[in-house]
Amino acid sequence: MKTKTILISGASVAGPALAFWLSRYGFKPTIVERSPAIRQGGYAIDFRGVAMEVLEKMDIVKEIKKHETRAGKITIVDKHNRKLASMPDGFTSGELEILRGDLANVFYEATKENTEYIFDNSISSMQQTSNGVEVAFSNGESRKFDLVIGADGLHSNVSALAFGDEQKFHHHLGIYFAVFTTSNFMDLKDMAGHYYGTLGKRTGIFSVRKDTKAQASFYFASPKFDYSYRDINAQKQIIREKFAGEQWQIPQMLQHMEEATDFYFDSVSQVRMDRWSNDRIALLGDAGYCASPMSGMGTSMAVTGAYILAGELKEADGDYSIAFARYEEKMRPFVTAAQKMAEGAEWFVPTTRFKLWMSRQIWKILPHTPWKNMMIEMPMKVATTIKVKDYGLEQKPEMVYNLG
């Protein structure tokens, strides 16, 4: 029997979603994750359109619903916490909303039986040969796999090893952001959220977990700069410096940030690549086609891409060159539409007084204009850009894939 081992780097959303399908189709997925456990944290993410269809095929919607969130009223406030504008309940919630960390936990639970998970480890080098990929790990071990998939996010290690420096593919959209969980110190009710903006900066706080916790976020406009992706203290220092001296609830938020254990910081960037595979190595999710948090589509693309990639490997009887080409051909229109929608992120963090004033006026009139529907319909249109076929659910244990 030919081998059918597939190493996936990254245990967040894309990696486990891929492993879910691969194991059902008789492949043997192994996931290597750099963190010692599934990483918690992150904002509420929402699913719409084609991704909902994929979750239904996974028969996982019921489980996700146990952790479902639904953003309450969003209020735009001034420095005295006075209302400037507001958006109705569920305005940003899509068809199904869940905290990113909770989703990662659900996917982990759904896959751990049939997937080998290796935590606290990372790929240090890969050598492609005629019949597999020789992989060396940072703990000194080496193993051979038939294929390697990079599902390791915006700063993908697999992408750097197989395609070169990320700078070639990253398109910074001019904003950085941080998000963390804190106590609901503002006593927000009914999952309400507040946003406060000044020139080139925006902060938000949203009640989560039935108002027992809150999620704080900081955004600031800045040209690209270098920082350590691994050093969370250094990342917190960036936020401290940027938001020092600001008003509203910002001093309290900065204090709460010190204790945050799920602090997440990154640039608002897109990954734009001409191709997502290099022989036996392919990219999935943010690693290959991050559209940025401004798209609201990162998780939907990760889940849909995982379904298509696994399905095409099954359909092509494991012939990875055919499968990778079909995966790319099918996913590309969705990725292009999602990336296009996220362009012009500047409206969210305006950098001139005029744009700041304009954005406040737009927030004020938005709920009373037809644009309100457009804000809901546009993501739905993008989320239904592609259709997914049924690759069949049944596991075929006798299936022999020709990966050799």
Ligand X SMILES: Cc1cc2nc3c(=O)[nH]c(=O)nc-3n(C[C@H](O)[C@H](O)[C@H](O)COP(=O)(O)OP(=O)(O)OC[C@H]3O[C@@H](n4cnc5c(N)ncnc54)[C@H](O)[C@@H]3O)c2cc1C
User: Which residues in this chain contact ligand X in the complex, by CB under 6 A?
Assistant: 9-15, 32-35, 39, 41-43, 100, 122, 151-154, 157, 179, 264, 285-287, 293, 298-299, 302
**Chain-centre distance for alpha carbon 329:** 21
Q: For residues 13 and 85, which CB has a smaller minimum distance to ligand X in the complex?
A: 13
CB of 286 to ligand X, least distance (A): 4
Residues contacting residue 325 through CB under 8 Å, at least 6 positions apart: 277
**Nearer Cβ to ligand X, position 358 or 378?**
378
Decide whether 132 or 285 has the Cβ nearer to ligand X. 285
B/e letters for 33-62, b = 16+ CB within 10 Å, e = fewer, are: bbeeebbbbbbbbbbbbbbbbbbebbebee
Residue 94, burial from CB neighbour count under 10 angstroms (0-12, 13-18, 19+): buried
Rg for the chain, CA atoms, rounded: 21
The least distance separating ligand X from the CB of residue 208, rounded to whole angstroms, comes to 12
Angle at 28 between CA 273 and CA 392, to 5 degrees: 80
Is residue 297 within 8 Å of 341, Cβ to Cβ?
A: yes
The smaller minimum CB distance to ligand X, of residues 209 and 360, is found at: 209
Sort strands 74-77 and 193-198 into parallel, antiparallel or unpaired: parallel
User: Least distance in Å: CB of 41 to ligand X?
Assistant: 4
Nearest CA to 7 among 21, 25, 19, 17?
19
CB of 354 to ligand X, least distance (A): 28
User: Which residue lies nearer to ligand X by CB, 103 or 323?
Assistant: 103
CB of 246 to ligand X, least distance (A): 21
Please state, in angstroms and rounded to a whole number, the distance separating the CA atoms of residues 400 and 402.
6
State which residue, 63 or 78, has the beta carbon closest to ligand X. 63
Indicate the residue among 14 and 19 with the shorter CB distance to ligand X. Answer: 14
Contacting residues for 97 by C-beta, under 8 A, at least 6 apart: 44, 45, 46, 47, 68, 69, 70, 71
Which is nearer to ligand X, 302 or 313 (by Cβ)?
A: 302
Ranked by CB distance to ligand X, the top (closest) residue is 285
Pairing of strands 281-283, 213-221: unpaired
Bridge partners for 203 per DSSP: 196, 218
Give the residue with the Cβ less far from ligand X, 166 or 211: 166
CB of 1 to ligand X, least distance (A): 29
Nearest distance from residue 45's CB to ligand X, in Å? 6
Q: Could you tell me which residues come within 8 angstroms of residue 218 by beta carbon, excluding any fewer than 6 positions away?
A: 177, 178, 179, 201, 202, 203, 239, 242, 243, 253
Q: Write down the least CB distance from residue 396 to ligand X, Å.
A: 27
CB of 400 to ligand X, least distance (A): 29
* Closest CB 218 distance from ligand X, rounded Å: 11
Q: Identify which of residues 14 and 126 has a Cβ nearer to ligand X in the complex.
A: 14
